[in-house]
């Protein structure tokens, strides 16, 4: 797939996440489990969710990776103890590289590789953990060719 990559400026965004260290094969099941817990905690505490779910990859080793599936929320972090594993976090503001991936989630590494090559060609450096936003829900769009994922990679 050809990727159109650009540099944009993001505003910081308050989010709810659950952090997990998992094997790559556990990504889909973990996202589903975690989002369910986040939705319940937000509903129970009157926290307004905004936008589609995302996943930030904090680090990826040969065995385990640390991810933060989550959802954006309206307004700044409140003094609400959500209990359990649900954490208030902030997706960073500032400049970021961005692109859109259409298709299967298993093909997302191609998009990340394209963004990395673009950053190198532009003389830009990575400035933090990237995240992907799942714009379309596979439950609503069963054909993987219709799955749209936005990728954001903070720049230094």
- pLDDT at residue 16 is higher than 90: yes
Domain assignments of the chain as residue spans, ordered by start: 6-154
- Sign, CA dihedral 132-138-141-145, equals positive
Q: What is the mean pLDDT of residues 111-130?
A: 96
* 111, 101 Cβ separation under 8 angstroms: yes
Q: What is the mean pLDDT of residues 58-62?
A: 86
- pLDDT at residue 70 is higher than 90: yes
In sequence order, the 6+-apart residues with CB closer than 8 A to the CB of 39 are: 49, 71
Separation of alpha carbons 122 and 124, rounded Å: 5
In sequence order, the 6+-apart residues with CB closer than 8 A to the CB of 18 are: 34, 37, 38, 68, 69, 70, 85, 86, 87
Per the rule left: phi > 0, alpha: psi between -120 and 50, beta: everything else, 31 is alpha
What confidence score (pLDDT) does residue 76 get? 73
Superfamily of domain 6-154: Regulatory factor, effector binding domain (3.20.80.10)
- Sign, CA dihedral 26-32-36-42, equals positive
Query: Which residue's entry shows tokens 């190198």?
Result: 120
- The proportion of the chain whose per-residue pLDDT surpasses 90, expressed as a percent, equals 81
Q: How far is residue 119 CA from its own chain's centroid?
A: 19
- pLDDT at residue 21 is higher than 90: yes
* 56, 129 Cβ separation under 8 angstroms: yes
- pLDDT at residue 83 is higher than 80: no
Separation of alpha carbons 131 and 141, rounded Å: 21
- pLDDT at residue 136 is higher than 90: yes
Q: In the predicted model, what is the mean pLDDT of the chain?
A: 93
Q: How confident is the model at residue 79 (pLDDT cuts 50, 70, 90)?
A: confident
Q: What is the mean pLDDT of residues 100-113?
A: 93
In sequence order, the 6+-apart residues with CB closer than 8 A to the CB of 106 are: none
Q: How confident is the model at residue 84 (pLDDT cuts 50, 70, 90)?
A: confident
Q: What is the mean pLDDT of residues 52-79?
A: 90
Q: What is the mean pLDDT of residues 38-63?
A: 92
């Amino acid at each position: 797939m050809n990727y159109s990559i650009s540099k944009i400026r993001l505003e910081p965004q308050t989010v709810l996440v659950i952090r997990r260290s998992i094997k790559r094969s556990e990504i889909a099941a973990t996202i589903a489990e975690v989002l369910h817990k986040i939705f319940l905690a937000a509903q129970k505490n009157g926290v307004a969710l905004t936008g589609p779910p995302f996943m930030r990859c904090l680090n990826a080793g040969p065995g385990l990776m640390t991810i933060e599936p989550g959802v954006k929320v309206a307004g700044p972090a409140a003094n609400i103890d959500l209990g359990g594993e649900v954490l208030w976090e902030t997706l960073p503001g500032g400049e970021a590289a961005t692109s859109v991936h259409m298709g299967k989630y298993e093909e997302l590494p191609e998009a990340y590789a394209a963004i990395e090559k673009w950053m190198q060609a532009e003389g830009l450096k990575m400035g933090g953990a990237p995240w992907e936003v799942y714009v379309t829900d596979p439950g609503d769009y069963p054909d993987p060719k219709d799955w749209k994922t936005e990728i954001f990679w903070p720049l230094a």
